[in-house]
Amino acid sequence: MTTPDPDSAPDSAPDSDTDGPIETYPGAPDSLVAIWKQRRRQLKLAPWDWFPPADLDLSPLLAARIPATLPPLEGRQSLHAKKLHLMRTELAGKPELAALNAILIAHLRKRRFLPHTPALFRRIWTEAGAALMPELPGRWLISSAITFGDHGETEAQRRIGLSINILFSLMKLYEFERFHSGFAAETPFPTRWVRRRRLPLGMPHFNLEVGGLDINLLAQIWNEARQEPVVGPLACYLLQRLNEDPGTLFRRIGMMRADKHLERLDRAVPPGQADDDGEGDTDSAAEGG
């Protein structure tokens, strides 16, 4: 199967021959809200389940490690117990506090939870966040930051949490879709003349050479996170990890931007001019070549 050439495709194509547009999500927003609410059903506890109290001592849980192998659950178990066992299995070898953080997040994603759950979650990141951060996989770092969007104590915490949610959720969708392009994550797409291609909602094109959309997006979140003492360090940690990852949209945009700058320099300097003015071989001369 050949990959279609985006430059040869028409500017736009109708969804169908029927009257009116076809919706990506028919019946939205009601249909979306119904599914979202279904996924937020309460994670019920059985009478025999243990749930941490608000004044739980966090230090022992930070020191204790989840065993590498856990015995399977036996008998009838609540959804809470099944979820906790699954999380502890996933986080084997990590501090027990990592599993507690994870199960609190699971409850906080639901419509109903024990009243002290948000405060206990925030206590973890206030009192033990710096020690817990290096222990958590990226998935749980992101989930922890996102949880502040709904359960942060201050407006700044909630704003940072919501920003991280939108940033990483859209990245997850985009990077997953990219897998189907056939290009490795570290490989930028070849630059093409795409000005006649239309962006959704009539948005103007991104200027690869001088556009600052990527910088504006990251700088605003990063700058606000540097000033917030609870979720801020976690957000900064995630953004720095993102900055160091070679397989992201931001790294590829940076590489494409650098290529554009080189092309512009090549166009600005006529062929042979550098050699004619005696400055074209400075690197070789410095090396004695």
In the predicted structure, residue 147 carries a pLDDT above the cut 60: yes
pLDDT one-digit tens code per residue, 1-41:
444 454 454 455 555 555 788 999 999 999 999 998 888 88
Question: How many Å apart are CA 146 and CA 151, to the nearest integer?
Answer: 9
The token pair at 45 is 């506890």
In the predicted structure, residue 274 carries a pLDDT above the cut 90: no
CA torsion, points 272, 274, 278, 282, in degrees to nearest 10?
-120
In the predicted structure, residue 282 carries a pLDDT above the cut 50: no
Across 79-96, average pLDDT: 96
Question: Which residues lie below 8 Å from residue 96, measured CB to CB, with a gap of 6+?
Answer: 60, 61, 62, 64, 65, 66
The percent of residues in the chain predicted with pLDDT above 70, rounded, is 84
Across 248-261, average pLDDT: 88
- Give the number of residues written for the chain: 289
The predicted pLDDT at position 191 comes to 81
> Is 121 in contact with 101 (CB distance < 8 Å)?
yes
Cα-based distances in Å from 233 to 226, 229, 243, 259? 7, 7, 15, 34
The predicted pLDDT at position 281 comes to 40
In the predicted structure, residue 284 carries a pLDDT above the cut 50: no
Question: How many Å apart are CA 73 and CA 82, to the nearest integer?
Answer: 8
Q: Greater confidence, 5 or 205? A: 205
> Is 84 in contact with 99 (CB distance < 8 Å)?
yes
The predicted pLDDT at position 283 comes to 36
The predicted pLDDT at position 261 comes to 67
The percent of residues in the chain predicted with pLDDT above 90, rounded, is 70
pLDDT one-digit tens code per residue, 150-187:
999 999 999 999 999 999 999 999 999 999 999 899 99
Across 83-89, average pLDDT: 96
Question: How many Å apart are CA 225 and CA 238, to the nearest integer?
Answer: 11
Domain assignments of the chain as residue spans, ordered by start: 35-136, 154-270
Question: How many Å apart are CA 91 and CA 68, to the nearest integer?
Answer: 9
Cα-based distances in Å from 57 to 31, 52, 102, 152? 43, 10, 17, 21
- In 132-254, DSSP assigns E strands to none
Across 60-65, average pLDDT: 98
The predicted pLDDT at position 263 comes to 66
Across 76-81, average pLDDT: 93
User: Which phi-psi region, left, alpha or beta, contains residue 181 (left: φ > 0; alpha: ψ -120 to 50)?
Assistant: alpha
Return the closest-CA partner of residue 51 out of 116, 127, 96, 7: 116
Across 102-123, average pLDDT: 97
Question: How many Å apart are CA 235 and CA 241, to the nearest integer?
Answer: 10
The predicted pLDDT at position 277 comes to 45
Region of poorest pLDDT, from 84-98, 200-214, 245-259, 265-279: 265-279
The predicted pLDDT at position 2 comes to 46
The predicted pLDDT at position 37 comes to 87
Tell me the average pLDDT of the chain: 87
Region of poorest pLDDT, from 61-75, 181-195, 254-268: 254-268
> Is 91 in contact with 67 (CB distance < 8 Å)?
no
